[in-house]
């Protein structure tokens, strides 16, 4: 129903909320959410990221009404500890590592095979970027993120070239870009869209679920594409990503506005307009 357009051309969810109500009516909703930049404001040090005010209570109430999943590039334990709401599904490492509310655990085995390449790439990148001020090399179980948000603009090309260079030395690694970061991860046919499909199948095997996905970054587009014809895609807007293409149906202006939208969704459940799963 939607062709790809740029983020700044996507209508604001709050302005078209009546249309969304019609779209959601009588559906079996599953809510799937990215973390950084979606539930939490982007901060200089990713180690300091926390859910925006109101997110935790909103998720605690929402999960009483429908299945809720958080899909993040962070490690599973990291994203679970940061969100800290029980009964959610958590998908870490872009979905290579998934845990369910009843103790289910799914790990994508092939991702384990690339850990030695990630170890080697991490050592090489740390050594080569040692002298550059402000670089943050963040090692995660199945990926390596190199953040350059605090790097002098004159040095950014050096950082990205180094990551591209090291990444290209390992055939089993794939280079991806994000908001002020470059990332190396397994070069496998698996992304947030595949993780979303896996989760939907597991949560609602009948295939009748109506997924709502919200995310803010390049890797979220795989999931937004996956829900394009079967659900509702929400892109969380930022100044950093405004004229880039997106598969989302609607947008919101940052994590606080997304939290408000989750509150409106709850009201639809609480008023009986949506029936709980």
Q: Which is nearer to Mg ion, 13 or 129 (CB)?
A: 13
Cβ 216 to Mg ion, closest distance in Å? 5
Q: What is the DSSP letter of 241?
A: B
31 with 67: CB under 8 angstroms? yes
Q: Which is nearer to Mg ion, 99 or 224 (CB)?
A: 224
Chain residues in the site for Mg ion (CB under 5 A): 34, 36-37, 216-217
> How far apart are the C-alpha atoms of 208 and 213, rounded to whole Å?
16
Residue tagged active-site, from 12, 18, 19, 34? 34
Active site residue 34: yes
Cβ 37 to Mg ion, closest distance in Å? 4
Cβ 238 to Mg ion, closest distance in Å? 9
- Residue 115 has φ and ψ, to the nearest 5°, of -60, -40
Q: Taking CB positions, which residue lies at the least distance from Mg ion?
A: 37
The b/e string for 223-254 (b: 16+ C-beta within 10 A; e otherwise) is: bbbbbbeebbbbbbbbeebeeeebbbbbbbeb
Structure tokens at 274: 């949506």
Degrees to nearest 5, angle at CA 125 with 124 and 127: 65
Cβ 26 to Mg ion, closest distance in Å? 31
Q: Which is nearer to Mg ion, 70 or 268 (CB)?
A: 70
**Which residue from 52, 255, 93, 71 is spatially nearest to 185, judged by alpha carbons?**
93
Q: Which is nearer to Mg ion, 35 or 269 (CB)?
A: 35
User: Catalytic site residues?
Assistant: 34
């Amino acid at each position: 129903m939607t062709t790809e357009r740029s983020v700044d051309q996507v209508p604001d969810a709050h302005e078209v909320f009546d249309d969304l109500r019609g779209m959601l009516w009588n559906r079996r909703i599953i809510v799937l959410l990215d973390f950084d930049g979606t539930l939490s404001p982007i901060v200089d040090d990713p180690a300091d990221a926390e859910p925006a005010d109101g997110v935790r209570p909103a998720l605690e109430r929402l999960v009483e009404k429908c299945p809720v999943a958080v899909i993040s590039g962070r490690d599973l334990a990291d994203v679970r500890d940061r969100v800290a709401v029980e009964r959610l599904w958590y998908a870490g490492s872009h979905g290579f590592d998934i845990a369910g509310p009843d103790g289910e655990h799914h790990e994508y085995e092939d991702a384990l095979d690339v850990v030695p390449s990630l170890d080697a790439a991490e050592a090489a990148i740390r050594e080569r970027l040692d002298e550059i001020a402000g670089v943050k090399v963040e090692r995660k179980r199945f990926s390596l993120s190199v953040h350059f948000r605090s790097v002098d603009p004159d040095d950014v090309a050096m950082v990205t070239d180094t990551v591209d260079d090291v990444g290209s030395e390992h055939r089993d690694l794939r280079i991806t870009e994000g908001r002020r970061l470059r990332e190396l991860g397994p070069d496998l046919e698996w992304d947030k869209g595949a993780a979303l499909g896996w989760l939907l199948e597991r949560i609602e095997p009948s295939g009748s679920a109506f997924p709502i996905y919200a995310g803010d970054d390049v890797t979220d587009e795989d999931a937004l594409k996956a829900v394009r014809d079967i659900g509702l895609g929400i892109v969380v807007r930022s100044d950093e990503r405004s004229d880039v293409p997106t598969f989302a149906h609607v947008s919101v202006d940052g994590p606080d506005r997304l939290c408000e939208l989750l509150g409106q969704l709850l009201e639809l459940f609480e008023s009986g307009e949506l029936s709980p799963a």
